[in-house]
A and B are shown apart, each in its own frame.
Chain A
Amino acid sequence: MRIGVVRFPGSCDETDALDACSLVADAELLWHGSTDLDAVDAVVVPGGFSYGDYLRPGAIARFSPVMEAVAKFAADGGPVLGICNGFQVLCEAGLLPGALLPNDSLRFVCRQVDLIVERPTTPWTAACDAGERLSIPSKHANGRWYADPDTVARLESNGQVVFRYAPGENPNGSVADIAGVCSEQGNVVGLMPHPEHAVDSLTGSADGLKLFSSVLKERTGAGIS
């Protein structure tokens, strides 16, 4: 199986995401200017500061040619994971619900946080158990996920909340401690914390590896429990 990692001007975590993907499958970078996803089986929209986060994080990147292809890929049910800036891009592109606002502290915050897996039935959480706790670093200045109350209620009842910050761990003031959400079909997932920075205990934690092994398990039909 092959995972494509999108690279925008200003992406910073794309090579880390590439290395993380390489631990479970073949992986390659997808240039923002190309509309060809090179027939990959899954797509990661990585973290960083695409276009400097200017105007609004993700506001400019979501117009990149590659994002048209990603949107099509998503519409056909292809698994897409947005991490941090990638999450912001997917929200701006309307592929995921909600928007990401400046942290309530108005500061960039880099901190190891505990996430709780709310939905283990997405391609990116298939290897997790419901309620499982993952220790994953979070680092951003614009991670306060927001949606209006009706939308939040709808997402909760549809089970579109995939990750929640553990009690007391919310670093940015996100509504209902929501750290990650998914599309209605569940194949597009976005979260602010960085699983690709938690794939080796040498650098802190290996819990994030589960998201990448999930997509492998799901795609190679190893079956979802």
Chain B
Amino acid sequence: MPASADSIPGRERAIELALTGAEYDSIVELLGREPNEVELAMYSLLWSEHCAYKHSKKVLRRLPTEGERLLLGVGENAGAVGVAGLAVAFKVESHNHPSAVEPFQGAATGVGGILRDVIALGARPVAMLDSLRFGYPSSARSRWLLDRAVAGIGHYGNSIGVPTVGGEIHFDPSYESNCLVNAMCVGIADPDRLMRCAATGVGNRVILMGALTGRDGIGGASVLASTELGEDDADKRPTVQIGDPFAEKKVLEACLELIDSDLLVALQDLGAAGLTSSASEMAAQGEVGLDVDVAKVPLREADMEPFEIMVSESQERMLAIVEPSKVDAVKAICDKWELLCTDIGVVTDTRHMRIFRGEELVGDIPVTTLVDDCPLYDLAPEKPAQGLYPAPPADLPDRGDTAETLLALLAGANIASRVPVFEQYDSIVQARTVRRPDDADAAVLALPAGEDGTRPAIAVSIDGNGRRVAADPNGGALEAVLECAANLACVGAQPLGLTNCLNFGNPEKPHTAWQLIEAVDGLAKGCEALGIPVVGGNVSLYNEGPDGPILPTPVVGMVGEMPDASVTSTSGFAREGLAIALVGPFEPSLVASELAARRGNAPEGVLPSVALESVLAAHAAVRDGVRSGAIESAHDISEGGLAVALAECVALGSVGCAVEVPELDDVSLFGEAPGRGFIVSGSRELVEAIPGAVVIGDTGGPNLTITDSDGERVSVAAADLREARDGGLRRFLP
């Protein structure tokens, strides 16, 4: 019974802290008494949506989490798969609400947070990817969010020496007041040295490493991450957190050196809910108790209350479990890296989290009640009678000149060149990057050479298309998985595992619940088809603004393997005289397509069906073609359809091309069926031999020329394609 139990904040305070009355009652029941201030603060965060997955945990059970290449799965800080004798750890996480409030710091600390999840496994982060969603850049606020979020991602990733090798950006009015900033980190570790987060060994010390603890983001997890953003965002602003990549760089190097020196029992990052979440997760996983003395925590501001210290979200901190005999060695390495390192507690057999201020016991909670006993809610899904999303403003005519339509699509913010964004990211530090952004459809990272001297590689990609998920949550989510896998196939990689971030609106609303359940089922189908596990991910709910929910946006990140880094492809046509082939069951429609949106159509209708078997056969054919060298360039047909894909192959390459298609109509030129079709090029006899490949033309000349069987023809100069594509986003990021 904690001494300060005399101060009982009570039920009203609990409700202010975003707990429900019923939740408060079950806390009282579990505790056998009313929680004091410290305890209530801890419950309010660990029982928040962000930490407890109250509305998503049951849904997530649908996801396959087993695979023979899986080394570490859901439940750890990040998942990991085995590649060429190494553990490749990866996870995507969202920082949406903080980024909507302060995009630079919100995005920067988002990158810092996912980096620490990977570091916590003892992996060296080797790549970052980012997935961004904003309102149309015609809006000044969206331009500001884009500009600052990108700068923040670059600031953190560049400064810490982790290359940002890929990502995606999509603009839609539904994100106007609720942008999405998802960041994915990939790390490499020695499989025998993978760290777990389970605290074990009664008597072992609890060591806090890294930055000073201040009043950063107090209430952040419950206030910022689990409630809709309203008019009063301003009040939430004091909780803005500042990222310090320099501090994190020292955390990174020190942690990896500590693990190499075999000095740690367990390691955990401090993320949402700070010390409370990390300490209780470690205790829960290890089925032990922890005693923590907040008086020992080094503070940035004097006079912080125990509850503030327990929930502070100050960045760049890690928590380690260390055998008493090794504490001095740990301190020595932290000193070398000019890193604070403080012994703040001990592992106990009580299975309680006991919080002390010096001698005084200020909080005493059974660990399981914090971590496992939060009520999980069933969703009440209901398929909405009609479409939920308003038609976007039209800026293209329903009947347009084909060449003009093509150029307009290429110049559109959703399709235009991302150079102005990814040029702000260091994509090459660590000297692994074999394919940089725009070189190929997925980033390729070389791994150390094996005995025979060849260097294997991993390929990474991140994808999502909320518009298609809005039209059909199940099919759209499946498409996201297929498109991500298609990107890997383009560089010759075989998918090994998937991570995802589920960005949705308020799950207590029946239609959002329906979107969530259907989308997760679609993701699961995709994983089952590819035979890969979900290794981890993140859920971001309540993404709504005054003007309604965001498009349902599951973002999929994938890691694949390649036997030889030096045998891969480019997206662009590399040289004259190559045969161009279409591979895959590509039967497009305009439903929820980019052209449909530009013509002012709401994201509604029936998506083209997916013939999984032939889709996977096409992926295999492209992958094998790249690996055998038959395919020199490969690009999957996604937004903007066949014509845009061809234009990109020309714009990114060094030559034009001439192809013939059955029909020169909008559907065959601009219709979409993501993840199903590929444009490949290579020498004719080799390309003709690719299973399912249909040769449609040749590379060469200064133009992109498309003709149909009855001689109709559209031709655009490569220079004009490049100009349209290059200027589309640049004009918003001068």
Residues of A within 8 A of B (CB): 9-13, 15-16, 19, 48-49, 51-54, 107-111, 137, 139, 141, 194, 196-197, 199-200, 202-204
A110 touches B337 (CB 8 A): no
Partner of B432, one of A54, A141, A194, A203: A203
Q: How far is the CA of A49 from the CA of B562 in the complex (A)?
A: 32
Interface centre among B245, B424, B426 (most CB of A within 10 A): B426
Instruction: Select which of B151, B250, B427, B432 is within 8 A of A110 by beta carbon.
Output: B427
Verify B428–A49 contact, CB threshold 8 A. no
Is there contact, CB below 8 Å, between B246 and A9? yes
Q: Apart from A108-B154, A139-B426, what 18 extra A-B contacts exist at CB < 8 Å?
A: A9-B249, A9-B337, A13-B161, A16-B430, A19-B431, A49-B158, A49-B159, A49-B160, A49-B161, A49-B245, A52-B249, A54-B246, A107-B424, A108-B425, A110-B426, A110-B428, A137-B428, A203-B433
Q: Are A108 and B158 in contact (CB under 8 A)?
A: yes
Q: Are A52 and B159 in contact, CB atoms less than 8 angstroms apart?
A: yes
CA distance A197 to B429 in the complex (A): 8
Interface hub of B151, B155, B246, B427 (most chain A Cβ within 10 A): B246
* B565 contacts chain A at the CB level, 8 A cutoff: yes
Interface string of B318-354 (1 = CB under 8 A from A): 0000000000000000000110000000000000000
B225, chain A: closest CB distance, angstroms: 27
B357 contacts the other chain (Cβ, under 8 Å)?
Answer: no
The 29 listed contacts between A and B (C-beta, < 8 Å) are A9-B246, A9-B250, A9-B338, A10-B249, A12-B249, A16-B429, A19-B431, A49-B158, A49-B161, A51-B246, A52-B244, A52-B246, A52-B249, A54-B246, A108-B154, A108-B425, A110-B423, A110-B424, A110-B426, A110-B427, A137-B428, A139-B428, A194-B428, A200-B431, A202-B565, A203-B434, A203-B446, A204-B433, A204-B436
Contact with A along B424-450 (1 / 0, CB 8 A): 111111111110100000000010000
B566 at the interface (CB under 8 A from A): yes
CA distance A13 to B430 in the complex (A): 7
B455 within 8 A of A: yes
B249 touches A108 (CB 8 A): no
Bound Cα distance A194, B565 (Å): 22
Q: Give B436's nearest chain A residue, CB to CB.
A: A204
Bound: A16/B244 CA distance, A: 23
Contact partner of B431 among A111, A139, A197, CB < 8 A? A197
| B455: chain A residues within 8 A (beta carbon) | 202
- Determine the distance from Cα of A111 to Cα of B423 in the docked complex, in whole angstroms: 7
Number of residue pairs A-B, CB distance < 8 angstroms: 86
Closest to B247 in A: A52
Residues in A neighbouring B428, C-beta threshold 8 A: 110, 137, 139, 194, 197, 203-204
Q: Which residue of A lies closest to B160 (CB)?
A: A12
Count residues of B near A (Cβ-Cβ below 8 Å): 33
7 shortest interchain CB distances as A-B pairs:
A12-B161, A52-B246, A49-B159, A16-B431, A139-B426, A108-B424, A108-B154
**Would you give the shortest CB distance from B672 to chain A, in whole angstroms?**
31
The B161-196 residues at the A interface (CB cut-off 8 A) are: 161
Chain B 128-156: CB-based contact to A (< 8 A → 1; otherwise 0): 00000000000000000000000100110
Q: How far is the CA of A12 from the CA of B160 in the complex (A)?
A: 7
**Distance to closest chain A CB from B455 (angstroms):** 7
A49 touches B431 (CB 8 A): no
Cβ contacts under 8 Å, A137 to chain B: 428
Q: Considering only CB atoms, which chain B residue lies closest to A31 in the complex?
A: B336
Task: Report the separation of the CA atoms of residues A111 and B420 in the bound assembly, to the nearest whole angstrom.
Answer: 11
Partner of A109, one of B151, B155, B159, B424: B424
- Which of B161, B245, B424, B455 has the most chain A CB atoms inside 10 A of its CB? B161
Q: Is the CB of A202 within 8 A of B566?
A: yes
CB distance from A89 to the nearest CB of B (A): 15
What B residues does A200 contact at CB under 8 A?
431
Using known A-B contacts A51-B246, A202-B455, determine if residue A107 contacts B431 with beta carbons closer than 8 Å: no
Note all chain B residues with C-beta closer than 8 A to A16.
Answer: 429-431
Residues of A with C-beta under 8 A to B244: 52
B246–A10 touching, CB < 8 Å: yes
Chain B facing A: main interface SS? loop
> Which residues of the other chain, B, contact A203 by a CB distance below 8 angstroms?
428, 431-434, 446
Tell me the B428-484 residues at the A interface (CB within 8 Å).
Answer: 428-434, 436, 446, 455
Q: How far is the CA of A48 from the CA of B429 in the complex (A)?
A: 9
Q: With the chains together, A10 CA to B455 CA distance in Å?
A: 29
- Give A51 to B159 CA distance when docked, in angstroms: 10
A139 to B163, CA, bound (A): 11
B596 to chain A, nearest CB (A): 34
Bound CA–CA A49/B159 (angstroms): 6
Considering the complex, which residues of chain B in the window 217-261 have a beta carbon less than 8 Å from any beta carbon of chain A?
Answer: 244-247, 249-250
Q: How far is the CB of A222 from chain B (nearest CB, A)?
A: 26
In the complex, A199 Cα to B431 Cα: how many Å?
A: 9
A51-B250 Cα distance, complex, nearest whole Å: 10
- Interchain nearest-CB distance for A204 vs B (Å): 7
Measured CB to CB, the closest approach of chain B to A195, in angstroms, equals: 12
Q: Which residue of A lies closest to B162 (CB)?
A: A12
The answer for the CA separation of A13 and B160 in the assembled complex, in Å, is 10
**What are the residues of chain A within 8 A of B246 when measuring CB–CB?**
9-10, 49, 51-54
> A15 to chain B: which residues have CB within 8 Å?
430
- Residues from chain A with a CB closer than 8 A to the CB of B161 are 11-13, 48-49
B399-437 with Cβ < 8 A to chain A:
422-434, 436
Instruction: Please indicate the chain A residues that have their CB under 8 angstroms from the CB of B158 in the complex.
Output: 49, 108, 139, 141
Q: How far is the CB of B610 from chain A (nearest CB, A)?
A: 36
Q: Which residues of A contact B249 (CB under 8 A)?
A: 9-10, 12, 49, 52
CA distance A12 to B155 in the complex (A): 13
The minimal Cβ–Cβ distance linking A201 to chain B, given in whole angstroms, is 9
Task: Tell me the smallest distance from the CB of B445 to a CB of chain A, in Å.
Answer: 10
CB distance from B68 to the nearest CB of A (A): 30
Q: Which residues of A contact B155 (CB under 8 A)?
A: 108
Most buried by A among B158, B160, B455: B158
CB-CB nearest in chain B for A53: B159
Inter-subunit contact B245/A52 (CB<8 Å): yes
Q: Which of B422, B423, B431 has the most CB of A within 10 A?
A: B431
Complex: chain A residue closest to B566, CB-CB: A202
**B-chain residues with CB within 8 Å of residue A196 when the two chains form the complex:** 431
- Give the distance to chain B from A101, nearest Cβ to Cβ, in Å: 18
Whether B566 contacts A13 by the Cβ 8 Å rule is: no
When C-beta atoms are compared, the residue in chain A nearest to B433 turns out to be A203
CA separation between A88 and B219, bound complex, in Å?
A: 41
- How far is the CB of A19 from the nearest CB of chain B, in Å? 7
Q: How far is the CA of A202 from the CA of B427 in the complex (A)?
A: 15
Find chain B residues with CB under 8 A from A13 CB.
Answer: 161, 429
**Min CB–CB distance B452 → chain A (angstroms):** 16
Most buried by A among B249, B446, B565, B566: B249
In whole angstroms, how far apart are the Cα atoms of A53 and B244 in the complex? 11
Q: How far is the CA of A92 from the CA of B337 in the complex (A)?
A: 23
CA distance A11 to B565 in the complex (A): 27
Q: For A10, what are the chain B residues with a Cβ–Cβ distance below 8 Å?
A: 159, 246, 249-250
CA distance A110 to B428 in the complex (A): 9
Shortest distance in angstroms between B119's beta carbon and chain A's nearest beta carbon? 15
Assembled-state Cα–Cα distance A199/B432 (Å): 12
Interface centre among A48, A49, A108, A194 (most CB of B within 10 A): A108
- Closest Cβ–Cβ distance, residue B688 to chain A (whole Å): 30
Residues 607-640 of B contacting A (Cβ, < 8 Å): none
Query: Given that A10-B246, A12-B160, A54-B246 are contacting pairs, would A107 and B434 also be in contact in the complex, using a CB cutoff of 8 Å?
Result: no
Chain B positions within 8 Å of A107 at CB level: 151, 423-424
